[in-house]
Structure 1
Amino acid sequence: MSGPKVDAIAVDLAPGDGFARHSEGAFATLADGTVLFVWSRFDDGSFHDNAGADLVAIRSSDGGVTWSEPELVLSRHDDDAINVMSVSLLRLQDGRLALFHLRRKGFHDMRLIMRISDDEGRSWSEGRCCIPAIGYHVTNNDRVIQLSSGRLVVPAAFHRARDVGPEPSFDSWATTYFSFSDDLGETWHESRPSVLPYGDSRSGMQEPGVVELADGTLWGWARTDQGSQWEMSSRDGGETWSVPRPSVFSSPRSPLSVKRLSSGRLVAVWNPVAAGPGQYRPPSGWNDGRTPLVLAIGDGQATEWTDQIVLEDDPDSGYCYTAIHELPDALLLAYCAGSAVHDTNCLTRLRIRRISTTT
């Protein structure tokens, strides 16, 4: 990747017309070169995570410059769920396309579901659950990966239910773990959890992600309320993990997104809060510090990173939950971009930006 150039916004999906929120999607390139983008559309008048939402899609035949009208992919009613959200799309090594999404039944049960398409996303199989244990398990959008070995790895954060009863409440403190499958999703197993070692934390380790590095090591991370993303690594395909520690990514309690490019280099998108680790400034305002949104390119071992490229920096907006997709001549980014001036919450507006990677 050379000479990245931040281009114009290609799509800007604002709340309204009966839809309270557009958010948390993922991309895939189809066999004919069409780019598919699937996201969660909330339609019952509420933008909250536990409101009603379905999965919808748009398509681009010109590399992300122009896009089709939305079409329904999956209704929450098909899964007897409160909502279906937080999409990952993955081209499997056998050539098929996989769709992953959260299925929310309530604070007692939210788990990731996997579906397969044999016809390039025109239809999808019945869902298979990727999380063996019942509970509230968060997997962000654009997070699921397949290793060079063929193993599928799902990063997840477990939040326990505070109360036992018909309507248990949500505990924001989370542990991070990784679910993995060696038979393309037929059976799943869990790693041991990673825990933030601070008693005063209200977040624990939330919304984790993972990439495979050039040497085969897995590098994982999770957001915290301690001023940075915390990181851990695995040398056995995600079954065991190192003790978590602060990473170089300063951050409010917002997600970091990282993808491995075809060159082997890494691209990271996140909200920095300070010049470096140990210089945390508490976020202020309605967006919880989720501005600016920046991008950096790293080497294949995540040890060296370029200077930050500012993608968005409106102080009255919040940017988060980024999906990253590589094309031959560009990167496509999709992220929440709600404005305090125009929107009810930073999660309600979805933006797609095209970044040229040729000079």
Structure 2
Amino acid sequence: RVIVPNEGGMNVMSVSLLRLRSGEIALFYLLKNSERDCRPVMRVSKDEGEIWGEPVTCVTDEVGYYVLNNDRAIQLKSGRLVLPLCLHWPAGQAKADWQGTLMCYLSDDNGKTWRRGKTAQKTFDAAGRRATTQEPGVVELKDGRVMMFIRASGGCQYLAWSSDGGDTWSAPVPSEIKSPVSPASIKRLPSTGDLLLVWNNHDNIPDSLKNKRVPLSTAISKDDGKTWQCVKVLEGNPKGWYCYIAIHPVGDSVLLGYCAMSGLAHSRVTRVPVAWIYGEQPDICLQGFFND
């Protein structure tokens, strides 16, 4: 069944589904009209996905090439909708900037209207050099702050924090989450209240696997992202290519959808018991990391 035909000039892509506090389901996707016009769109269903409403363009103040990854839209406890975006081709610029400008678009009326947050920032390392930061994600913390996690150069994910619902942000800083230039995903597990991280863990990675999107690992944070534990390998085939993870907790398990093995051409859905994530069940690694 086709939910949204290719209504863009080039493509429609990068889907997020979000259950709103109203009970409705929001569908977000990128409408790519050209290499200079790619913006997120929202539709809403009031009947569990049978019928979808008319599209609402979430970015109307500046045409440009924006990236919103799959499974990135969130709704805060306040009801605010937050879309973490990276702008790569601003209007009027002669060429793309793939190092990116990070920002959020916000809605306080269930997606009817949107505005850009007050912070739109490029990232610099400790030496003052421009760093590549792309494909941000966000998660609400227990203290009410919002944490942004960011695909980045430099061998790790970068992090930033907001104390006003995603409007203003601290400068992104490197974290202890070691990774290639590949996106991570973080969501809270309703059954435990802890944060689940799924990413390409490159802590002590063999030289042969550096810069590759392998392995696909999971970890748990009991302190809202300060530290991570229970690190497990879910997929470890050295020839694999695991990324763009969607996380959906279901009862005592978590559904993970992600690209697997052959770039963007193939995807996989895996049901993972929460007990396994915490190390309470035997290893179910789909492909042994050092077995091939």
Matched, 1:332 2:260: no
Q: Which is worse superposed, 187-196 or 103-112?
A: 187-196
**What secondary structure, in the 3-state scheme, does the structure 2 residue paired with 1:347 have?**
helix
One-letter amino acid matched to 1:101: Y
TM-score, normalised via structure 2 length? 0.87
**What secondary structure, in the 3-state scheme, does the structure 2 residue paired with 1:310 have?**
strand
Q: Which has the higher contact order (CA 8 A, sep 6+)?
A: 1
1:55 corresponding residue in structure 2? none
1:175 corresponding residue in structure 2? 101
1:267 corresponding residue in structure 2? 196
- 8 Å CA contact 2:258–2:267 kept in 1: the answer is yes
User: How far 1:105 moved relative to its partner?
Assistant: 0.6
- Picking from 162, 167, 175, the partner of 1:247 is 175
- 8 Å CA contact 2:102–2:122 kept in 1: the answer is yes
Query: Structure 2 stretches of 5 or more lacking a match?
Result: 276-280, 282-292
TM-score, normalised via structure 1 length? 0.71
2:122 corresponding residue in structure 1? 195
Whole-Å separation in 2 of the counterparts to 1:143 and 1:188: 16
CA-to-aligned-CA distance 1:193-213 (integer Å, 9 cap, x gap): 232114655x62100000000
**What secondary structure, in the 3-state scheme, does the structure 1 residue paired with 2:241 have?**
strand
One-letter amino acid matched to 1:196: T
One-letter amino acid matched to 2:33: K
Query: Structure 1 stretches of 5 or more lacking a match?
Result: 1-70, 340-345
- 8 Å CA contact 2:8–2:32 kept in 1: the answer is no
CA-to-aligned-CA distance 1:51-91 (integer Å, 9 cap, x gap): xxxxxxxxxxxxxxxxxxxx211111xx2431111010011
User: How far 1:329 moved relative to its partner?
Assistant: 1.9
Matched, 1:186 2:109: no
Whole-Å separation in 2 of the counterparts to 1:307 and 1:356: 14
1:159 corresponding residue in structure 2? 88
- 8 Å CA contact 1:157–1:177 kept in 2: the answer is yes
One-letter amino acid matched to 1:147: L
Whole-Å separation in 2 of the counterparts to 1:260 and 1:180: 21
- 8 Å CA contact 1:136–1:161 kept in 2: the answer is yes
One-letter amino acid matched to 1:184: N
Whole-Å separation in 2 of the counterparts to 1:127 and 1:215: 34
1:224 corresponding residue in structure 2? 152
Matched, 1:84 2:18: no
2:65 corresponding residue in structure 1? 136
Percent identity, please.
42
Whole-Å separation in 2 of the counterparts to 1:355 and 1:122: 28
- Picking from 207, 227, 233, the partner of 1:310 is 233
User: How far 1:239 moved relative to its partner?
Assistant: 0.7
Compared with structure 1, are the counterparts of its residues 302 and 113 closer, same or farther at alpha carbon in structure 2 (3 Å cutoff)?
A: same
Whole-Å separation in 2 of the counterparts to 1:149 and 1:238: 12
- 8 Å CA contact 1:337–1:349 kept in 2: the answer is yes
Matched, 1:127 2:50: no
